[in-house]
Structure formats: C-alpha cells, structure tokens
Structure 1
C-alpha cells in the first residue's frame, strides 16, 4: 500500500473548506418553528411519542441542500456552519442576547430580524415547559446559592440537550435502520401485556420505529435532490457524482452499507440526525478506524477503490464534521470558546481480545486531519505497549502541523480505570474517547460526561472565609482562618466544605438528569445504544448498559500550590501569619487599595527559587516587611496591606514554597491529596439512571471564567486570573522542562479520575523539528504513560505567532490551536482564552 504521506490533498477539499468558512455562521429558526408546531399538535400524547413525531416532522420538512462539489451529503442548516435552535431545553437566554450575538468578542453569530421574530413567537409556547425550568424546580435553594457563587456549574445539560455519547455506528452499518425497525417491532409484538411497564415500553418501541423511518425519509429526500441536480449539471463528472450520491442515499442508512463510500454516507446521516434530534455536543465517532475498516478493506485493500479516492472521501467527511455547530450563551462561550463541538474520533489501541488494533485506516484518519487542518473531528490516538512506533510517529507528524491534535491516551491507565467502575474487560479494551477526554464504551454507555465544572479553588476560598462569599453565607462555618492551629486543621476544614458542596453538585446534576428523562427523551439516539431496545427504555430512563454521571474538578494545581505555600510559609517556616495572609488575599495583594505609585510586578515566568540571587533579594525584603513589630514589640496579627507589602507577600507565596510541575514529591503529594479529596467524595453517589458518579479532572476552557469568580489565592494568583487548566501546572510555575512537568502530573491518581484527566503541553515548533523531534515526542509520550499518566496533548506553536495572531487576526484565519480538550481557530476565541493559551509555558527538549 501507498504511504499516506505520499497522498496529496485533492483540490476539491480546499473548495469545500472555503465554502464552509466564507462567512460567520448564522442562527436559523426552522427547527424551532417545526418542533413547536409539532408539540402543539401532540399535546395529549406520551412524551416519547411527541419527541418522535417532532423529530419526524423536522426530518420530513426541513430544507435540505447539497453544497457545491460535496461527495458526502446531509445538512443540519441551510447555511454553512449555521445553528438551529432547540427551545425545548432553554430559550430565554437567547432572546435576551439576540442583539449581542454579532457583537461578541468570540463565537460570533449572525441573526436576521425575521429569525428573531420567528424565534420569539415560538419561544412563547415553551414558557414553563423547558427542561431547564423543570430542573430548577427540583434543585434545593442551597444548590442554587452555590451555583450563583461560582462553586460549580451544570450548564452543559442544564441549558442544552444531552450529548457526550458515542452510539453503535457499527450496528447501523451492518443492519441498516430497516434492521433496527424490525428489532423494535419484534419487541413490540413480544410484549407481555401483563408487564406493568408494557404500556411505557410499547410507546418507546413505537417512537423508535417512527424516528428510524424519519431518517430513512431524510436520506431519500437527498437521493431525489441529487437526481434533480444531476439533470441540470453542466459538468459530466459532477453529474456522475450526483447520480452516485443518489444511489447511495436510496440505499443507506435504510439498508446495510456495501462499500466504503456508502459506509461514510451512512455514518454521516447518523451523525447529522443525532444533532438534529438534540443539540448536545460531543457526539463522538469513537473507534472509527475499527467499525469502518471492513468497508475500507473491502474497497481499498481489494482494489475497487484507490487509496487516493478513499482519502478524498475521508477528507470530505472531515470537512463535513465541521458543519456541525451550536449557539451558546455569551457566558458559556468564555468556557467553550471557538465554536467547539467536541466530536472525538480515536484510532489505535487494542482489540477486545487484547491484540493491537492498528490498521491502515488508522493512518488514513490521521492523514485526513493533516490534510484538512480543521478543528473537527477532535482526533485522538490510543497508546499501549504494543502500539507500532510507526503510528506514534505518524501522530507526532500531525502534532507538528500545529493543530493541537491528536490527543494521546493511555490504555494502561484507562482500561483498568473502567474495569474498576464495573465495565467488563472486553468492553474496557474497546473504549473510545468522547468530548474532551472522557473514556466510555461506545454504543453501550450513557455517561453524562461533562456533567458539571466544579471549582476546587472556590471551595478552598470559602474554607478560608468560614463559608462566606462576599458577605453571603454559601458554605459551612468551619472556622475563621486565623483559628486554624496547624495545617491538618485547615485541610480537614477543606474536606468538610468539599463534602458539603459535592452533595449539592449531585443534587444539581440529578435534578437536570430527571428533567431530561421526563421532558426530553431521545428515542432515535436510544435505538443505537445497548440495551435500550432490549429494556424498552430510552437512555434518559436508564436504558444503556452502562450509566455514569461525570462532573470534573477544576484548579488542581492552584489548590495544591496554595496549600503547599500555607503549609510551608505559615506552619513550618512561620514566615507569615494566617492573619497577614488573609489580609493580603482580601486586598488582592494590595491592589484593591489606592496607592500613589504603581509597583512594577515581577515576571512570574522568569523569577523563581532556581535563581538564587533574585530569590535571596526577594526573601530579604519580605523578611524586613513582615518582621515589623507593633508598639508592644509583637508581630502584628492584622495589617493593612499596602501595594508594596502585598506584592512582596505574593512573591513569597510564589517563590518561597515548591510548586507543582517540577517533579518535587512534597508539593506533588499535596496536589494529589487535594484532587483525591474531590474524587473520593464524588464517587460516593448514585444517579437516577441506576448508575454512579465518577470524577474527572479537566476544565474544557472553564478555567478562565472560573478564575474570574475567585479572589486572590495563596499560590500567588491574583483575583480574577484564570485557574490552571486541567491537571497542568500553573502557567510559568513549571520551570524544569516537559519531563519534570509530566512526572508531577503522573503522580496524581489518574485511575480514580475515570471520567478523564487533561494535560496540555506547549512546544516551540523547533522542539519537534526533524526526525529527532518526532522521536523525542514519541519517547516523551511513552515515558509519561509508563508512569501511569492518562492523557496528554500538545500545542506546537510559538508564543510570538500567537501574539501576532491576536494583533493581526486577518493574517491567521486558519490558525488552529488546542484550547483544552478540543482545538479551535485561534482568532475565533474570546480574548481571555487567547491570553490563557499565550501564557502557557513554552517547552523545549
């Protein structure tokens, strides 16, 4: 076979990309109007039937288009990258922000006055009927208070549809929806009328049949459109392509796929239809190179399709995946910047029987990302000790392109982590990644990953303020900071606050979970997830084989560094009193006070205890400031911190104690324990679907807005500054290179964080130059995974380029970077997220 590197990008691909990105995306009202009309017609029917009938109406009546020179067809909106609206989940926020959508600093959407009017009319029907409103009714008042204070947010499913799933694409490819309809019909016929759940199950099976037939109709509409366009095509080649498209759409997804092209088309119809039913993001292709390979092998390996033609088809699908979009509220765009949809596609790893799963399609998928240079799909690679070096090298070559992809995952950690959660060995070996970094068994799991962002730093802040936030009691009163006599008493208070807030988090997540099961079941999605048809339940009701809820903790490194600074400087070295620390934090290190002159700040990325001369100077000045006595000759217990003193205290916190990310056991162990306090508490709880909670440690890009609601912290971070992202060290605090940083991260317990952990590394492009650079990256990944790290991804871009892109966005429209668990066009990001990426430590080998 040909080396994928030798296959050039076809001219068609750039044309498709140009068509897709020719303008800002638009908001469209069509789906909102159609579902509203359907709901008005089905007021007295069971909810799951209402959902199916609404889906049927949308698929039958929505406008369909075939974009110029497409080979894979099926649109979600009339305009490229447009966003439909899903009023059944939430809508008031959108109407409030109609006039802001085109003025945002990131994730800009166009919206016409006609669309605004149609949406406003539709929204009136949904007043009091949304999942968000029902979920809010189920929450305790204390839960809402904690959310308002910024302790956690469950906005993902609170405002939107359910996503974060990988369905059984293989089932559709092998059986077609005709086979799935027959399966549901057989279950319907076989129902025991004496079964107390028979009525409910029968409604589910009817909904599956309606929904699956709706997608078949949707596909046949494209067959008819392709034939009509073929009749007027001026190019013979395009006419042949359109006729071929028509044949494919007449056959799939109703029938089993016969060729690689049909398999790709069938896959895309599934992907598009899931998004049309519900606007949940992170609907992930999963182990694409495994379920799609038989069709690739049949056509490419056996010679009926050239590798070049197969690669072009694959590249076309990659472009198509970037046509999926959604609109989020302005606040959420600061946590999910860059129009992300998190469609994670993973290659490599091992088979269910423990053999290496790498195949030629694994390489072709990486080549497709290299060719298109687009944010979607979020391509990933599974790595274990039998991963071929050639696949790792291919992945490193794609990393070197500078897309922030692929992300790398360790089978050696994830497989046992899933087994520990009750997943069988065979299923655990067959895991995929969905969304950012979340492992799940595709086609069998309703994971509710990304169920919440939990602000660990805010919990520490509330602990140090006796449960109060800006004068409002939010948490438990575990004692004034100055009352703690030793470090253990502070850690114990933090643990008690954590227990309290995690319980409220569970209440919030379970409230949203129940609201979705009652008001927005998804029969189409459910028909492709085991064991929904066997049980007669939607995934929202617990029909999936595996059920989880996965909230993630944010700010591990900040909490670790802050606790280490307090332990070292207050309780061990006694260079600082708790009263002095609290005064400094409350005044944001003196910056909240009026001063006659500004004090130049130290450069955090350069100053450190590794520079003895600077460190001695800083420590000497700090000692002088802090050793001042009052008139009685004793050290003051309360000081009004000036800007000078505040900055010196801040520098002592930064430089006077070890920092996570430098391979220092004393601080790495503190960070590990801080993470475990959160993780162990989360895993105690169950969800309404018969499953359990599992913790994760990753932020998407929520570390930026979550930092904005936190005051100054004892790691030297100023109020409002971003938190550390994922399990990465605080930007600039990892001063001993990538290996030391990864050694620190590997000391966290990644097995317990089975909902996923996220490590970002940023390399200067020169670090990956030549064969040596590729080999170094491969060795770094293997070394990290040998130490039981779970995940790592790399931004390969210089700081200078990012700064220039921020200043001159018109020159960098195609610059794709890794934000957190996803990649996005840099210029589309909110400035705060851009600054966070720029500030990350730039590594060299």
Structure 2
C-alpha cells in the first residue's frame, strides 16, 4: 500500500480553455519594454550602472501594460498577447532589426511583428548603438577568438546576445518573508555599512538598487490587485467575480509579504518567475524543487480544510499553462539551435531532503499529473532518482513518459551529488541540487553557474588536423604536423588534442569577455536580491556575488569523435586499408556523394575570386554557371573509391553497442574536452566545468561541419550529447545504456545528455512500465547521470511532417527540452526521426 496520495485528477474545462487561448494566434514581438528601458536610460546617464538598472526596472514595472487573461487564477503576463515577447536592446538589437521583414516567415520559431512595433523599436534602438553588452564583449575578445567564432569552431551565443539566465533563485525565501523581508535585510546591511569602508561606494549603491527593485515588484503586484478589482466591479458572472476578488487579495498581499496559503504561494511564485525574465532576456530561469518549497503551504491548507486536493491540482495546472505563456525571440541562427519556442524552465521533483532521506511528497505526484493535463513543453519537468526513490513515483513518471511528451527527464543523485561536492559544494548544498535549463545541476539560490556558456563542436578541431589548422584559407588553429608525415596513431591523436586545447583556450576567452561585459553594462539587482550572498557581499551576481560561481560551456559530438578516431586507428594505422591522405581526399569529396552546399559555396567563392583577379566580370549569371559546373564535377571522378572507404568505415564497430574497446575509446575522447576546460577560471572567481550536451545545436552546427571519418556526410547533424550517433546503436537499449555509462559522468559536472527513442509498444501495459523503470535504474546503477526519452513511432513523425495541421499538439523530446513537433525546423525534425527506435 502506497503512503502517498496518488490521484489521477481529471483536467478541468478551465485548463482546456487556457491552453486553447495560448495557441489561437502566432506569437508577437512587442515594443513596450524596449521603449521604457530606453526612456529610463536617457534620464539616468550620470548614475552608477547598478542604479540605472534598478531605475529602469522600476520604470518598466510602473508603466508596462498589464492584462488578466480570461479564466486565469494565477495572473501576471509579460506581454499583451499570449506567447509573445518583449525585446531587450541593452543586450543586443542589430539582429532583430536585420530580421524585421523575415522573422514572421522563417522556418524556426516565427514571430509576427507589426509595422508600428518596427517603428517603435527602430526609434528606441538608436540610443543603444555602441552601448550593448554584445558590442563591449566583442571589443574585449582576442582577434584569434573572433576568427575561431567566424569559422564556427564554437559559439557563445547565449550570453553574447542575451541577458543572464540559467539560474534558480530563493523562491522559498520570497514565499516565507516576501520582498518586504528582503528589503529589510538589505536596509539592515546598508545601515551597518561604514562610510569609510573600502567598498562603501559600490556596496551602498548596490543595496539601494536591490531595495528599489524589490519595491518596484511590490508596486507591480498592486497594479494587478487594482486591475482585478476593477474587472470584478463590471463582471456579471458571480463565480468569476469571486475569482477576481481572490486574485485582487492575493496580489495585494504577495509577493510583498510572506504567503499565508497555498494559493498565495502560487501567485507569489509566479510573479518571481515572470519578472526575472522581464529584468533580463536570459532563459532557463528554472523553478527548481517546486514540490519541496511549495509543500508546507499545501500541507497546512490541506490539514486545516482551507484547500482541496482538486483545487490545488487546478492551481498547479494553471501555473503550468502560464509557464508556456512566456516566450523569447532569438536570431534566426539561434532559433534553429533552440527551435520550439523553448525557455527551458526546468522544474524537478523527487530526490533526497538529506543524505539517505527521501523527499517525495504528494506534490511530486501532482506535478507529474499537471504535465499530463496540459501536455505542453513547459515546464521542462525532471525527476531525481536515487536508491530510495519509491517505485510508485517511478511508475507515475514512466506513465507520463509513455504519453510521448518527452517528459520527465531522469537524473541520478548517485552521480550528481558527488560531482557537485567535487566542485566545492557542501554536502548539504549538493544534496539539495536542482536542474537548470536542459541538464545542468546546481544549488538553488547560491549559484551563478553560467550554464550553456558556449557550444563547442568537437568535430571541427578534427577537420583542422587534416589541414594543419587552416580553414577556408585562414590559419585558425595551430600548425600541427602534416598528416603525410604521421606514422603512428598517437601522432594523429596528439595533433587533435593540440587543436582542441587551442580552441578551448579561445572559447574561454570568449566566455570571459562576455562575462566582464555583463558585469560592466547589465548587472541585475532584482535577480541578485534572491541569490546568496549578494546582499552581504554588496555585489551583484554578475560581479561575483554568488557563493558558487561557475562557467559551463558544453561540448558535443563525442560519438562522432570516438567512432572517427577508432576508425582511423583501426583502418589506417593497424589494418592499413587506406592512408590518411586517401581519407582526407574522401572527406574532401564527401565520400563520393555530390558536393554539399557548403562545399559548393566554398569552391564557387574561390573560383569567383580568381576570375575577378584576372579582370573577368563575375555577375549572377556567371556565379550560377560556376555552381552548376562545381556540382557536375563533384558527382564524377573517383566517387567509387571514396564510397569504398566509407563502406570500410561503416563496418568498423561503433559507440553505443556495448563493445568495451570502443566504449573505452569514447571515454578517453571525452577527456580531450573535459580535462583541459577545468583548468581555467572566470572573472567571478569561479572555475570552468564541462557539460556534454548540445541543446539542439548539433543540427545547425552540424550543417557547418564537413564529412567526418566515422562515415558521417558533410553538413548533416553531429551526434547529440553523449548519445550514440543516430542509427548506429543497433544492439538494443541495454547495450546503448551500457556504452554511455562508461563515460566519466562525474567530470562532466555541468551535465550530460542521453537521448533514447522507444516505439510506443515498448511501454505498453503494467509490464512495459516496469521494464522501463528497471532499465532506468540499471543505467543509473552503472553511474549514468541523465537519460530522457521519446516514445513515438517513426510513422507518426513522418505523417506529422507532411500534415502538420493534424498534429498541432504533438510534443516530442528534442534535446534537453520538449517542444511542439510542428514548430521545429525540418532539419531538426529529421534528426529526431533518424534516432534509433528501440524496443524493450
């Protein structure tokens, strides 16, 4: 008999209406925030930057339009229209202006933008030329770093163009004492500052900014209280009128004060969640251990009779809908990498409350039930698993997994807790970890983790080995030994490591430059008010105010690299089936396939440049003739020879099939990224830590990568995370899990990502769920860190590609997040379709 109240509460009509309202129209770009932040900055040019930030935040919250959407029980919206977005010109704006006329028509994450909005944004953006964080960051970078970025060795796009995100704040403190309590703490700290202290000037202005930001939030909530009262006065529906009066009471009480009820706690939570994303355009603002900090309010109200489980479930469902109302516009290239309008708001349940003490409670189950009710991508629901996790909770999670929604993702306490302790966290803090964004662990309310700090494509340095560091005629990497002179595999592998080490150092330079730019131009006092120990230190998060400071860029393509290097070691140096020069020729010719678009473009540019040097006219017609000639030439020649090389490569064992010698090779390949990276430090006094996951950037960055020695064709997706290459794991799910578990998940403390896809029949019935749970536990017993699933058959996905109107509600797991399948770019859809479809 279970000790938990496991309910399958029916979804209410209200939730259906709220979900339908969200998706009635295309998301819009709105201009109000950009106009207001610009107005404020123009008025505060002589103030310290931290006070300019708090004044701007206050000006926005006092003047931005507010709405209460029909049927809402929890209120607060960043935009007038559902699923729409504001813009943040203080971080970057040029890309949006360049896409004014294309953003509505692009394949990934389109947004409608009216002509009036374009005019308003263009006017506001004039002020920001030369003043953005992205421009300052660029000016701080080493020239070689900029060259490496131009040649797609890595991209630090998240913080380069956007605000800081990837954080979980002290929701529990706001629920307990409200912002009035945080203001009192800041005032007390300010009163104890001595005007003669060496840091008085900076600390006092920071504390003033914290106080002003928190007061602004209280003012904003009271605006909603007045709006709810106003709507109640004219409401003729008595039931709705009562709801509006309750909303007014909640907004007048929280988040100024501590919450006295579960309903107030829900409203207070939402104001924090939404307004963090109004202050800054950073994504992955993650709710963390929602079932833990919300449970005391639920338990108290349930015992007193003030709350029914059914109404509590409806409130949670309402929050789940609201999490899908938040949105963000990215540039076209980034939209391809993050396709699906995702904000990566990771909410996690389960795990431990103390070493060896299970933390599961009724809300753990209700959170899973809420995701089943709304069937939407947000929140990015996760579950912590350890040896003491109740089977009831595992089965509840598995039941959600088999819906095909791609939720929840599963995380292993037995790996993540010791990995965090190894990075300097106390045992108490490590046990209380949550997940940020996709797969990144951290301690809530104490960490500035800079997760997702860059995407590093491990295949690109391999290309540089074959060209002695040259790319498109430019010396991008070091001049390693010519492949014609290499007589041993160790020489080749050493050259790869040299290219890797060089690119990693440039990545670090890019991240640190961006880090400094945010501290100087866009510190965030509101966020910092809810992260320890910013108030005591008198520093914003961006200046090193957090207790734990990390930078976590992620590498991907491990399977490609492992399979490539293993094939070179076996076929070139051991069996001598072909030489490195012959392999290079095959790679240059895409294994005998027609030239890729990238190759055609490169060759065309070279030919056109030579013609121009010789004084010949190169017009559009001439360019097209060159393109056709290059394409025709690429389809002829030694195609059969190159295809034979690919056939030999395809026969070599691949990662993901429980073959010890290949798996050990993959482990070592991963170290070429994870070990060098952790030797570097960031400007906030913290260290770099590696992640091994791509979000979904393995698709667009794969499109910028040539053919690789594992048989992968040019411009096709690179393997995602620590997963085997798509279609290469042919020995079943257990074999794939065994291979992936042999990687060192402890060193990749910024998170690893393992994707699996099952046919729906594999999880059918009680026995299917039990077998599924056993697979997860067995993988975690072998010290795997994370695993997530798509449960959908290939035929359904193919039909959804052809007939998207029939599958508007089809949610799938993309990478570290889920998204509506029909909102993804075709290249990303294809990547999901190609993943190996396992049976149990």
- TM above 0.5, yes or no, is yes
2: CA distance between counterparts of 1:789 and 1:119? Answer: 47
CA distance in 1 between partners of 2:542 and 2:4 (Å): 45
How far did residue 479 of structure 1 move?
1.4
**How many residue pairs get matched?**
799
Give the direction of change, closer, same or farther, for the CA distance of 1:203–1:801 in structure 2 (3 Å limit): same
Distance in 2 (CA, whole Å) between partners of 1:747 and 1:60 is: 54
Q: How far, CA to CA, are the matches of 2:580 and 2:511 in structure 1?
A: 36
What secondary structure is seen at the aligned counterpart in 2 of 1:454?
strand
SS in 1 for 2:317: helix
Conserved? CA contact 1:300–1:310, under 8 Å: no
After superposition, what is the alpha-carbon deviation per residue over 1:344-363, rounded to whole angstroms, capped at 9, x for unaligned?
Answer: 00000001343111111100
Deviations 1:164-217 (A, max 9, x none): 000000000001000000000111111021211111000000000100000001
Residues 732, 839 of structure 2: 8 Å contact kept: yes
Contact 1:333 1:830 in 2 (8 A): no
Q: CA deviation at 1:139?
A: 0.2
Which residue pairs with 2:55 in the alignment?
A: 53
Aligned partner of 1:714 in structure 2 is 709
Maintained 8 Å contact 1:532/1:538 = yes
Deviation at 1:267, TM superposition (A): 0.2
Q: Which residue of 2 aligns with 1:661?
A: 656
1:807 corresponds, among 799, 802, 814, to 802
In structure 1, C-alpha distance between the alignment counterparts of 2:117 and 2:334, rounded to whole Å: 22
Query: CA separation of 1:418/1:577 partners in 2, compared to 1, >3 Å: closer, same or farther?
Result: same
Pairing 1:679–2:674 present:
yes
Residue 470 of structure 1, CA deviation:
2.0
Determine whether 1:842 maps to 2:827.
no
Out of 734, 737, 752, the residue aligned to residue 742 of structure 1 is: 737
Which residue of structure 1 aligns with residue 638 of structure 2? 642
Alignment of 1:675-824 (within 5 A): 675-824=670-819
Note if contact 1:258-1:295 (Cα within 8 Å) is conserved in structure 2: yes
Give, in whole Å, the separation in 1 of the partners of 2:97 and 2:303.
Answer: 53
CA contact (8 A) 2:356 2:388 kept: no
Q: Secondary structure at the match of 1:347?
A: strand
Paired residues of 2:406 and 2:788 also in contact (CA < 8 A): yes
Cα offsets for 1:527-567 (capped at 9, x unmatched) = 00000001010000000010000000010000000000001
Q: How many Å apart are 1:706 and its aligned residue?
A: 1.2
In 2, are the aligned partners of 1:354 and 1:429 still within 8 Å (CA)?
Answer: no
Which whole-Å CA distance do the structure 1 matches of 2:347 and 2:643 have between them?
Answer: 46
CA displacement at 1:2 relative to structure 2:
8.6
Q: Deviation of residue 381 (structure 1)? A: 0.2
- Quote the residue 2:67 is aligned against: 65
Partner of 2:106: 104
Give, in whole Å, the separation in 1 of the partners of 2:240 and 2:6.
Answer: 26
> What's 1:230 paired with?
232
Does the CA-based 8 Å contact 2:4-2:362 persist in structure 1?
Answer: no
- CA contact 2:448–2:541 (8 Å) conserved in 1: yes
**1:428-464 superposed Cα distances (whole Å, 9 cap, x missing partner):** 0000001000000001000000000001000111122
- CA drift of 1:654 comes to 1.4
Give the match for residue 470 of structure 1. 472
Secondary structure of the structure 2 residue equivalent to 1:795 = strand
Aligned runs of 1:506-655 on 2, under 5 Å?
506-592=508-594, 642-655=638-651
Distance, in Å, in 2 between the alignment partners of 1:691 and 1:728 is 29
1:179 pairs with 178, 181, 187, which one? 181
- What do you get for the CA RMSD once the two structures are aligned? 1.1
Q: What CA distance in whole angstroms lies between the structure 1 residues aligned with 2:660 and 2:102?
A: 48
1:390-539 map, 5 Å = 390-539=392-541
Q: CA deviation at 1:234?
A: 1.4
Is the CA contact (8 Å cut-off) linking 2:106 and 2:332 kept in structure 1? yes
Distance 1:301 1:764 in 2: 43
For the residues of structure 1 that align with 2:552 and 2:195, how far apart are their CA atoms? 37
What does the per-residue CA deviation read over 1:484-527, in whole Å, with 9 as the maximum and x for residues that have no partner? Answer: 11111111111111111111010000000000000000000000
Question: 1: distance between equivalents of 2:788 and 2:264?
Answer: 33
Query: Post-superposition shift, 1:482?
Result: 2.1
Partner deviation per Cα, 1:300-335 (whole Å, 9 max, x = no partner): 244321111110000000000001100000001111
**Residues in 1 aligned to 2:5 and 2:292: alpha-carbon distance in whole angstroms:** 20
- Distance in 1, matches of 2:83 and 2:167, equals 21
- Does the CA-based 8 Å contact 1:593-1:642 persist in structure 2? no
Equivalent residue, structure 2, for 1:386: 388
Instruction: Measure, in 2, the Cα distance between the counterparts of 1:5 and 1:460.
Output: 53
TM-score (norm 1): 0.94
Distance 1:576 1:175 in 2: 70
Q: Aligned partners of 1:775 and 1:2: how far apart in 2?
A: 19
Whether the aligned pair in 2 keeps the contact of 1:569 and 1:576 (CA below 8 Å) is: yes
C-alpha deviation, 1:13, in angstroms: 0.0
Whether 1:306 aligns to 2:308 is: yes
Q: Residue 98 of structure 1 aligns to a residue in which SS?
A: coil
SS of the residue corresponding to residue 24 of structure 2 reads: coil
CA contact under 8 A between 1:763 and 1:842: conserved in structure 2?
yes
Contact 1:311 1:368 in 2 (8 A): yes
Q: Secondary structure at the match of 1:345?
A: strand
Alignment check: 8 A CA contact 2:740 2:784 kept: yes
C-alpha contact 1:348 1:356 (8 A) present in aligned 2: yes
Residues 622-663 of structure 1 show CA distances to partners (whole Å, capped at 9, x for unaligned) of xxxxxxxxxxxxxxxxxx9622222221121111x1100000
Report Cα offsets for 1:649-707 as digits up to 9, x if no partner: 1121111x110000011111111111111100100000000100000000000000111
CA positional deviation for 1:590: 2.0
Structure 1 stretches of 4+ with a deviation exceeding 6 A read none
The CA distance in 2 between the partners of 1:576 and 1:667, in whole Å, is 20
Report if the CA contact (8 A) 1:531-1:545 is conserved: yes
